[in-house]
Structure 1
């Protein structure tokens, strides 16, 4: 009798089970498959101590060396200053049309009388904050960076604390800032990887501020100065972002370009010359665009898999992703992606919409290239007493 009951119970259970669907990448357009060749190695910069090439959409590192080595970032620091100023404007702390004073300290430490780059705004006079930003971004004005820091936080030291706070939010784990301009100072350092994250964040969070970096020249009074990023004149797809140079840091360059829907970010630190950093950066960008492509694998709200649920008003839950899952892969390797899931064997109601339940991973040649949490697309409410009792029995029986 128990045997017949068990058979009937298990038959009922089988009718309620729906096997997990293996997630499959979105099919590629129907076309003749191109011949896939091995991706050649990235063109290694000839002199840079540390470098990285990052895909903007995914944040994946496509190539790099010594990407986490802490080094002085020189004037690439000003990208962090730009980010903080943009964030403080968004938060309502300051405004683009604020009048910013070029203080004596800013002029003395970063003005025309120093060995560094300067904007040329007159000492003890004010200028619109937006103009001061352009003087910092285009002309790499150390004086403008100090003046902006003082306006936003009262002092450059207080502003540095803001810089470090925002850097932590961006995920820059190996960076620390002590000034707004990037002149050599003890303890002031970053990494190629962190700076690529910063460039990615500026493009994404504050595109209008980022756009200042593609201005080719800017005039203050009678002084017109060109942007030091030579790539703005060499390649129309390059639209930023920042150069840097000190004797301690060498020649540095963070560059970004967009071709079609794809954007890449390159960072070179510790280079030997202005020409070398430009040539090597462009070579990296060209290599990345030529040999890599970005795909959207899963969209929010769409089911990636369906799983059995016990003790719920519904017997199944659809799992998907909360944010679009993108991946950057060598061109022609899209169909070689292998998705897999890590989902608990037993799921019990109640389940709330958006609740994280497992992880989806996508691998290429045995290496995970993208992953994201799996979340419940819709809620599954707890069932009534008798349904819960029955499911409890069936779960016990299945475990025997």
Structure 2
């Protein structure tokens, strides 16, 4: 409807009304060639168009030129299964019309910006590893009425979805393990006295074995704390020139790791050229879900050096859907893999939605403040609360 208002034409009118054609040509085209689409007009010769609209050949050439300038796209696709429930659809998009700056301007907007050729990737979810017979891929022009088309992407027998991963670790209902004073001389500096569920379940293989460990768990589940405890316990039993090497993907996370290790050790870093691989006992790889080319190359070098040295590797990551390939690359056995789901978080999460029909005004803010105050008093009457507002000036927190 908005396009019809902007173009000042009805939807049932021929799409070439949007181009610079004379009224006589448009009238005859609407009368004699209304059943032909714009794509069909582009495949007709000038002489045939002249006979169709009962006018001369110049008018037929004008219609053919306008039809070829009408925006259209050619679509192609490629399918690739990423996992058991994710399918990647790569689109090859090519413009299928004659570009005219006077008609189209500097760019033509569809669902995406289109130039000469564009490759677009879509990732869709598949339930139960059983893809539907097909999906519809559709494009619609942003400014042109009727400039739309669709293709059917058929999932043939050659498309094979990956099997469902069976590497997720169930969070067991274990009694929380109390923090033992024998783990570290500086253990009293920690802010907790009892391990949570994920830490309790991973405690024995992390603290009492020398095998490589891969832990994938939600944020704030204590992965880094367990790696720190294990590394410090190993160093406390070794010689004074032993080290733990911690690898992080960026500088900001390195500062957080340094502050964490200062709870246990006095000196937390040394110049890299003063560290010998023979003195490294433990390597901790943080945030493997952010693995890029540089990070992968660094870990690969350590894996290569580890072949001749007794270096233990503790790898940490956020929740992953399938970590089989990652564990094989890091030489982690099935018994040392812990892949918790995102729902296995230690902090309970409650979401409530409150709708408001009040227009944007001071009354709306008062209504929202009342709902926020009620939620705060019910969820956390005595603890600190973090409240997000659109702006500090328009929503002063002192009112709440």
* TM, length-normalised to structure 2: 0.23
Higher RCO (C-alpha under 8 Å, 6+ residues apart):
1
* TM, length-normalised to structure 1: 0.23
User: Quick check: which one's strand share is greater?
Assistant: 1
